[in-house]
Amino acid sequence: MEEKEIEILRKSGIINNKAQKLAQKIVKPGVSFLEIGTKIETFIKEAGAKPAWPVNLSINEQAAHNSYNPEEEVIVKETDVLKVDVGVSIDGYITDSSQTFVFKKENELLREASIKALLSAKEYLVNNPKTAKISELGELIENKILSYNFKPVSNLTGHTITRYVTHNHPSIPNVKNNYDIYFKDIDSWFAVEPFVTTGSGYVTEGNQVYIFKFEEEYPIRNTNARKLLEEIKTFEGLAFSEFWIGKDMSVFDKKIAIRELLKAQIIAAYPVLIDKPGSLVSQAETTFLVTEKEVIDFVEIDEILM
């Protein structure tokens, strides 16, 4: 990567770090998802960047892709395990981070397991910049989680990031795998995100959908759908919320338009991902770059999590 690209990512990471510190000030029992999500996104915009996706606010058995909904009042409860996943984009250069909030002592070990798994992964990368492999990292993360008597979520992974593309290849599994790939050879930055669960260790798609992404443009007849498409294209391929668009449309017209865009495969939906009911999932995440010379944690996750 060119140095100018790395500098943009450093700026993105600083904003991401501050957004997560803002989350630490906001998140507590009694606060609404709407307040958390909108305050973080407003901060990112005022800092000169863009949210790379709607702030993910996933609770309890939800592992990812939940967010705020202005049409529903969701309030954080003392019994909740809340993941706050933040993406920051500057000119398509994205940094990705997550932290987990718990409010009851009985859930602290679950949170700790995801933190220690991530920090162990970071230590491994820092100590082995020339020889660190995806396969070894996955095994290390899995073993750390198992040592806490929890399970890793096997079908959620970290991911390579490229400009305007949040999830690229190769992926970074949180379990033992056969990806015999050196991180220094990826030639891009990437997110590592251990998910720790008391459940099955495998997530499925739920019924709720708050996050969408542009896929490909096709002709479409619905006037409102065409109007929404013009708004959607301004996100330049980054994920968006239905509540970010069509603000001058009725709720009914907008939902019909979104349905038409989905049917035409112009946009894709990202349902909330859940483990079995009654389980709890924690997550910790940051964004790295490994070069021949160094390992960069763009978000500097240590000072957020510890």
Q: Which residue of the set 85, 142, 242, 260 is catalytic?
A: 85
Instruction: Reply yes or no on whether 180 is catalytic.
Output: no
Instruction: Reply yes or no on whether 302 is catalytic.
Output: no
Q: Which residue of the set 61, 65, 80, 159 is catalytic?
A: 159
Residues 6+ apart with CB under 8 A from 199: 61, 151, 275, 276, 278, 279, 280, 281
Q: Which residue of the set 136, 193, 242, 275 is catalytic?
A: 193
Quote the Cα angle for 163-82-147, to 5°. 90
Q: Which residue of the set 41, 275, 285, 297 is catalytic?
A: 285
Q: Which residue of the set 167, 215, 253, 300 is catalytic?
A: 167
Number of alpha carbons in the 13 Å side-chain half-sphere of residue 16: 32
Residues 51, 195: contact at Cβ < 8 Å?
no
Q: Which amino acid is at 121?
A: A
Of 62, 50, 128, which is closest to residue 288 (Cα–Cα)?
Answer: 128
Instruction: Reply yes or no on whether 248 is catalytic.
Output: no
Instruction: Reply yes or no on whether 253 is catalytic.
Output: no
Instruction: Reply yes or no on whether 242 is catalytic.
Output: no
Q: Which residue of the set 41, 96, 242, 297 is catalytic?
A: 96
71, 211, 245, 258, 278 from 155: Cα distances, Å: 31, 19, 31, 28, 19
Instruction: Reply yes or no on whether 65 is catalytic.
Output: no
246: which 2 tokens?
């069509």
Residues 187, 160: contact at Cβ < 8 Å?
no
Report, as residue numbers or ranges, the catalytic residues: 85, 96, 159, 167, 193, 285
